[in-house]
Structure 1
Amino acid sequence: MVAVFNKDLLSWYLITLKLKETVDAGLQNTPTTPTPTPTTSRSISFPEFPLQQQRQLLQREEYHPVDSLKITLEENVHNVEEGPKTPESEWVISIKDKLEQAKQDNDAGSWAKLSIYRVPLSLRRDDDKAYIPQIVSLGPYHHGKKRLRNMDRHKWRAVLQILKRTDQEIKMYIDAVRELEDKARACYEGTIAMNSNEFVEMMVLDSCFVLELFRGVAGGFKHLGYARNDPVFAMRGSMHSIQRDMIMIENQIPLFILDRLYGIQSDMPDEKGIVARLALRFFDPLMPTDEPLTKSDLTKLESSMGRSASFDPLADLAGLHCLDVFRRSLLQTGPKPTPRTWIKRWSHSSRVADKRRQQMIHSVSELKEAGVKFKKRKTDRFWDVKFKNGILKMPRLLIHDGTKSLFLNLIAFEQCHLDCTNDITSYVIFLDNLIDSPEDVKYLHYCGIIEHWLGNDAEVADLFNRLCQEVVFDVNDSYLSQLSQQINRYYDHRWNAWRATLRHKYFNNPWAIISFAAAVILILFTFAQTFYGVYGYYRPPQ
């Protein structure tokens, strides 16, 4: 036996033996595969020491390199026993993770609180610009986008102006929103990738900005302390673009947040309905009617602003956000079909939503040929359509450059929100059926039913023909279903078509009427002459 007095050499020799034993034990349970032999820059051979002598040598040494690798050796043994993970095992683990996430989403119960949606891709198509804000972002969906950051400095100016005017601390607003943070997050679709501080800051900033705009349009920005030439807080041309951005479905703030912060500003924490009324005044220029707010409405608004009276325009309704408030105001005292439920919707075979069933009535040109007359109905409820004795009466509809975006966002909200009727969708599809060509638009304009500020009638026809291309809709689930059936029955009656043809061809102008009357008189005289000629032949005078 050769004695080894170098403790380092002895330690590394023992490590090599231990590793060899571990590897041999692991390889007994695995298939034998050829492995490359490791090479070192220097080979060292050691004599075989008895196990007892090895232990004594290690105990006499103050430095033990084996102890430093003890944990590593144990981990290696554990890994050898378990073996490498296969792709199939990793796939199973990923499936389990996804099921666990689905279970958490399902247990959260947040679907019932959802009210601010992302527009489905099926509705966007080529109209993506109608759903994406161009100037100002509100809420988390478009927060932080580069082209919208310029408005952030004006938002901070609004916050500063509120604090100066009310002599309050920003902490009051932060604490109020933080109390409602979970409730506010539940209103938005999907996971919001913002921490608590970021979310609360965004809500305070956007809400104060919205409230300043509402109050400035209703009572004047000068009264709030802004300069006459302010780039944002003034009645300038950019206000219309801001209004269009703020009515979009993806650009909403929960109404209860606005109510809470307005209550802090006005020292009226329990007052409800004022923000909703301010929102209606702010979005009034987007109304699809040429009837503005009456003086009585403005008087009530001013009184509510001055706290001399409590005025709630939607006393029996709980608005979700500004778009919902705007939609409810359009349909006030209007059709109120029962809310849609999926059980009722799919339990009847006759109520299957089918694109082939979206044709409600014929076009204006076809109805004219069948004798249907069109007349303007004097009311500010643009959806209130009547049909009686062959006369279709429709209220006046005002179409401007913001009408397309407005209708698309209203339709998207009705498509996404289950506890919501489809009255706006029904009306738009009804108009889509009526309007097939620029001639249809021209005739409705001649009747005073459509007033538009677009370039020509062809643009209006294209607008309505594209609004509901990807909307799945059942005519049986429409408040205009019964009226459409009455019009179709009138259209199918042949006598009405014959009478209309006679009127169009022979009574369309005074000269045609005179010619027709002369022809009738000539026929009568001819008949009388023939009659008396035949009568005189068979019965000559005595």
Structure 2
Amino acid sequence: MGDIPTVNQKTEREAHVSIEMVNSITGMLRSLPALSSKCCIYRVPERLREVNLKAYKPTVVSIGPFHHGEKHLQPMEEHKLRYLQTFLNRTERSLEDYLKIVRTWEEKARHYYAETIELSSEEFVTMILVDGSFVVELLLRFYFPQLREKNDRIFHKPWMITDVSNDMMLLENQFPFFVLEGLFNLVSASIKEGNPTLLEVTHEHFKYLLKINELPKTFSNPGIKHFLDFIRNCYLSSFPRVHCESERTAIYECPPSVTKLHEAGVKFKMGTSCSLLDVKFTHGILEIPHLKIEDNTETLFRNLIAFEQCHCTDKYISHYMFLLDGMVNTSKDVDLLGQYRIITSMLGSSKEVSVLFNSICKNVISGEEFYFSTLCRDLNAYCRAPQHKWKATLKRDYCNTPWRVLSIFAGLILLVLTLIQAVCSLISVPRGP
């Protein structure tokens, strides 16, 4: 048998191990990067990703570091370089000049990402210049069709520009807006036509995804973090947030379904507001702005929700989807909204739309406050009032055509005449002595 360690030997070994552990942990603590208030680009939380992985994964192009170098996105790298070449030719600056300028943005740009980017300074600066110039050149070619080259593989191939645009709105594919602004300002002087701003060309590119027609006048470049933030702000630009502050409560109340609302006599009306979120209920009329459901609608809203879940205190888009999720349970609900032109679907069936709404809020956290609480409470109270349902049943089952109204009216007249005749008969009966 070997020697048995004494108490002193055990203590020395334990002390030695403890010192190593302290040094190791101390080193890790010292190497922690500082947290930045500029952080606004995140990886999608796993609880959201597992519901629909495809909604968050780029299909044709990587922008920024999170999907940089992925094999299935490599074919687009050649087109990025072609766009960079054209971008450089628009000004008298050299490639070296651009690299020097971009290097001054490196530290700030790194702080935009929620995790440490494991790229060297040279790799990161190169990626920023290539991806940033690609995006700016794409926006310019979209805004000015005459700038597109004859053999452009993005604009002259079916669906490619749509796929690229869809990838540009993914949370994990976002890019610091200040970098795009800097690159745009360097090259915009060479574009003599119209002298648009970066916000204007960005709006022109994304407006087919948005509910608004005009760029909000309240926008300013310093307030925009990236494209997804731009889209969210477009949706919220005309949203009555002051009104919202007075209505928010900590109580979430699920709204009745569209079918139940219809059975209770609620009238539906397509709203004219520029904001999708401006849903109103007054005097038995529920006004909901028009929503067009397309192939990319789910991807857009899932990424907006993911951004809110990661970054925003006020989760307005998430609350809007919670509201629709509660109101739309079946294809019948979708069909009713379709009858009033509140929802227009480009999908295959009403069932697909109902499935979209029923799944889009899965694993989403609504937060302590819910903007539509008052609206939901009013809708539930209206449905619980028996007189509303009786009135709706009478109108739906007995007064749904002019002929039924006339027959009921004639029946009432006949009933009144019969009662009058009966009363007259009683009056005319001779009384006994």
Is the Cα contact below 8 Å between 1:337 and 1:421 reproduced in 2? no
Q: Aligned letter for 1:326?
A: I
Deviation digits for residues 464-513 of structure 1, max 9, x if unmatched?
11110111215x72332322222222222221121111111111222322
2:285 is the alignment partner of 1:391: yes
Sequence identity of aligned pairs in percent? 33
Q: TM-score, with normalisation over the residues of structure 1? A: 0.72
Q: Residues of 2 paired with 1:312 and 1:366: CA distance?
A: 40
Q: Residues of 2 paired with 1:94 and 1:238: CA distance?
A: 54
Is the Cα contact below 8 Å between 2:253 and 2:373 reproduced in 1? no
Partner of 1:498: 390
Partner of 1:78: none
Q: 1:209 to 1:179 in 2, by over 3 A?
A: same
Is the Cα contact below 8 Å between 1:273 and 1:315 reproduced in 2? no
The CA deviation at 1:538 is 6.8
**Match for residue 167 of structure 1 among 87, 92, 113:** 92
Deviation digits for residues 43-97 of structure 1, max 9, x if unmatched?
xxxxxxxxxxxxxxxxxxxxxxxxxxxxxxxxxxxxxx99999799768855764
Is the Cα contact below 8 Å between 2:244 and 2:371 reproduced in 1? no
2:229 is the alignment partner of 1:324: yes
Q: Aligned letter for 1:284?
A: K
Q: Residues of 1 paired with 2:68 and 2:196: CA distance?
A: 27
What CA RMSD, in Å, does the superposition of the two structures yield over aligned residues? 3.2
The CA deviation at 1:265 is 1.5
Q: Residues of 2 paired with 1:414 and 1:363: CA distance?
A: 25
2:376 is the alignment partner of 1:449: no
2:379 is the alignment partner of 1:487: yes
2:353 is the alignment partner of 1:460: yes
2:197 is the alignment partner of 1:286: no
Partner of 1:47: none
2:180 is the alignment partner of 1:255: no
Question: What SS does structure 1 have at the residue aligned with 2:238?
Answer: coil
Q: 1:85 to 1:121 in 2, by over 3 A?
A: farther
Q: Residues of 2 paired with 1:325 and 1:85: CA distance?
A: 61
Q: Residues of 1 paired with 2:427 and 2:27: CA distance?
A: 103
Partner of 1:369: 263
Deviation digits for residues 88-122 of structure 1, max 9, x if unmatched?
976885576456535654x7132x22100111001
Q: 1:88 to 1:366 in 2, by over 3 A?
A: farther
**Match for residue 157 of structure 1 among 82, 88, 96:** 82
Bigger relative contact order, structure 1 or 2 (CA pairs below 8 A, ≥6 apart): 2
Deviation digits for residues 416-438 of structure 1, max 9, x if unmatched?
114x5211111111111111110
2:414 is the alignment partner of 1:522: yes
Q: 1:117 to 1:535 in 2, by over 3 A?
A: same
Q: 1:503 to 1:132 in 2, by over 3 A?
A: same
Structure 1 window deviating more from structure 2 (169-178 vs 316-325): it is: 316-325
Q: 1:454 to 1:96 in 2, by over 3 A?
A: farther
2:357 is the alignment partner of 1:431: no
Deviation digits for residues 227-262 of structure 1, max 9, x if unmatched?
1x4211447421111111000010011011111111
Q: 1:244 to 1:539 in 2, by over 3 A?
A: farther
Is the Cα contact below 8 Å between 2:83 and 2:133 reproduced in 1? yes
Partner of 1:66: none
Q: 1:538 to 1:135 in 2, by over 3 A?
A: farther
Q: Residues of 1 paired with 2:252 and 2:133: CA distance?
A: 43
Q: TM-score, with normalisation over the residues of structure 2? A: 0.89
Gaps of 5+ in 2: none
Q: Aligned letter for 2:89?
A: K
Partner of 2:127: 202
Q: Aligned letter for 2:404?
A: A
Is the Cα contact below 8 Å between 2:255 and 2:376 reproduced in 1? yes
Q: Residues of 2 paired with 1:514 and 1:92: CA distance?
A: 96
Q: 1:143 to 1:318 in 2, by over 3 A?
A: same
Which one has a bigger Cα radius of gyration?
Answer: 1
**Match for residue 147 of structure 2 among 207, 211, 223:** 223
